Amino acid sequence: MDLISFIIPIYNAGKFLSACIESILHQTYENIELILIDDGSTDNSLQICQDYADRDSRIRVITKSNSGVSSSRNIGIKASHGKYISFVDSDDILDIQFSKVMQQEITQFKADCVFSNYYYLYNNRAIVKKPRIESGVYSFDDISGIIIDDRKLSGILFGSVWAALYKKDIIDKYRILFHEELRVNEDGLFNIEYCSYANLIRVCSHLNLYYYRQVNTSTSKKFSNEIATKSATETIKKKYQTSRTFSNLNEQLSARYVSEILWHILKLCGKTNIMKYKNIKNELIHLLNDETLRTSFLFINKRELNISKKIYLNLMLKKKYRLLFIVTRYIYPVLSKILPR
């Protein structure tokens, strides 16, 4: 059996870390290694990691000073020995069949990577994520026109690196790493670059093998007041502007910029942000009066938006700052559990 390397970046994840580790150790596919990278945790996360490593030889623990999830994943990639790599967030859970099924899929379809569908996990309630595309085997050309953004405020097609399986030799050959200077979209940028080198991409929208826990403690879910959308856009533009990888690069980048401003508004106005409304409003004014955003609105396919996205787009266009705040803080948390994302 081929070795699968699981890479978990960890920062103050003590509350859910054991459940995450247990879900990997109890996989029916047993030829795995588990690389735990503690990113300077100040809780009991490191002790939990060391306790598990003492009991299971498949586990390695790496410690480092706090420098972010991308840095941790890059260290994990370089330390891994597996034929395949899978990334897991420290508060999430894998289905017991994840490794077995994903390895079967990548082998059966001679693919270079596999993306599974997943659940949103709210406490003990799991809600299936609505797939963006149907199950199938795709070449990069098949998806290159929508992988950055499909013009429906959906963002990058494969926006997360978890619930996926990658070939380590492709990562090593093309030196694909996470952009450590970014705070958002680092997962999506990794996937865009990886898929551009892949011959075949297997999408398993019919399989729900990963539980994405909806909490506020994950390293990838914390709000930051720093706008990182332009830097992410510029990273993509700088890498692909002079190539022929995308026939509609500028259109996708413009639509993606609107998607990421919307994402930032959801974080800015969400309940986990303790900023005063006055400061939030000033940030909204700054965001929505941006000239790049104004021209980017033209590339959104308004007819294809669901009702919640139509509401948000309308509020953004009309610069309804207080309504954006109220809807996001008090109404969106309820609707997000009902309406497709």
pLDDT in tens, 91-132: 999 999 999 999 999 999 999 999 999 999 988 789 999 899
* Chain-centre distance for alpha carbon 114: 15
DSSP β-bridge partners for residue 7: 35, 87
In the 8-state DSSP scheme, what is residue 182?
Answer: -
Rounded to an integer, what distance in angstroms lies between the CA atom of residue 279 and that of residue 233?
Answer: 25
Q: Which carries the bigger pLDDT value, residue 278 or residue 233?
A: 278
Reported as a single tens digit per residue, the pLDDT across 9-56 is 999 999 999 999 999 999 999 999 999 999 999 999 999 999 999 999
Domains of the chain (ranges; CATH) run 4-213 (3.90.550.10), 229-335 (no CATH)
Instruction: Please report the pLDDT score of residue 185 as a whole number.
Output: 85
Instruction: Please report the pLDDT score of residue 333 as a whole number.
Output: 77
pLDDT band at 76 (very low <50, low <70, confident <90, very high): very high
How many angstroms separate the Cα of 89 from the Cα of each of 8, 69, 73, 194, 294? 6, 9, 10, 19, 35
Phi-psi domain of 131 (left: phi exceeds 0; alpha: psi -120 through 50; beta: other): beta
Q: What is the mean pLDDT of the chain?
A: 91
Rounded to an integer, what distance in angstroms lies between the CA atom of residue 66 and that of residue 225?
Answer: 19
* Residue in the block written with tokens 């109404």: 331
HEC secondary structure over 252-290: HHHHHHHHHHHHHHHHHCCCCCCCCHHHHHHHHHHHHCC
How many angstroms separate the Cα of 50 from the Cα of each of 42, 53, 150? 15, 5, 43
* Residue in the block written with tokens 């669901």: 306
Q: Which carries the bigger pLDDT value, residue 232 or residue 275?
A: 275
How many angstroms separate the Cα of 243 from the Cα of each of 124, 233, 237? 46, 16, 10
Average pLDDT over residues 210-236: 64
Quick check: 165 pLDDT over 60?
A: yes
Q: Which residues of 46-85 are buried (b: 16+ CB within 10 A; e: fewer)?
A: bebbeebbeeeebbbbbeeeeebbbbbbbbbbeebebbbb
CB atoms within 10 A of CB 331: 13
Structure token digits, residue 214: 């909806």
> What does pTM read for this prediction?
0.89
The SS3 call for residue 210 is: strand
Q: Which carries the bigger pLDDT value, residue 17 or residue 155?
A: 17
Q: Are 76 and 49 in contact (CB under 8 A)?
A: no
pLDDT band at 193 (very low <50, low <70, confident <90, very high): very high
Instruction: Please report the pLDDT score of residue 245 as a whole number.
Output: 84
Average pLDDT over residues 279-307: 93
Candidate from 245-249, 320-324, 334-338 with smallest mean pLDDT = 334-338
Instruction: Please report the pLDDT score of residue 332 as a whole number.
Output: 80
